Amino acid sequence: MCGILGLITTDRDYLKNKAESFNTALSKLAHRGPDNTNIFSDSRSLIGFNRLAIVGSDQEVQPFISENKKIVVVCNGEIYNHLELKNDRYPV
């Protein structure tokens, strides 16, 4: 199971002051996702993700960020029957 951490605030100074402790907290979740760690930050939020790669490409990186950067998503989940679903849609 992956490790997810987030902080959202309207107080930019608070966010700046918490950046170091946020990184420390995310590192405490490293055992939950040792395969990849990423952080998204803007003027109102810090979103961290530690990935545990069970199934899927090594190229998958979270948080997922929309092109206009208005939507940032982290999720924890695997589709264990992905091959079956793929074969139903695209038979070999």
Residue 16: how many CA atoms within 13 Å on its side-chain side?
4
The active-site residue out of 1, 2, 64, 77 is: 2
Nearest to 38 by CA among 78, 77, 81, 72: 72
- The distance of Cα 12 from the centroid of its chain, to the nearest Å, equals 22
Is 2 in the active site? yes
Distance CA 78, CA 37 (A): 17
Enzyme catalytic residues? 2
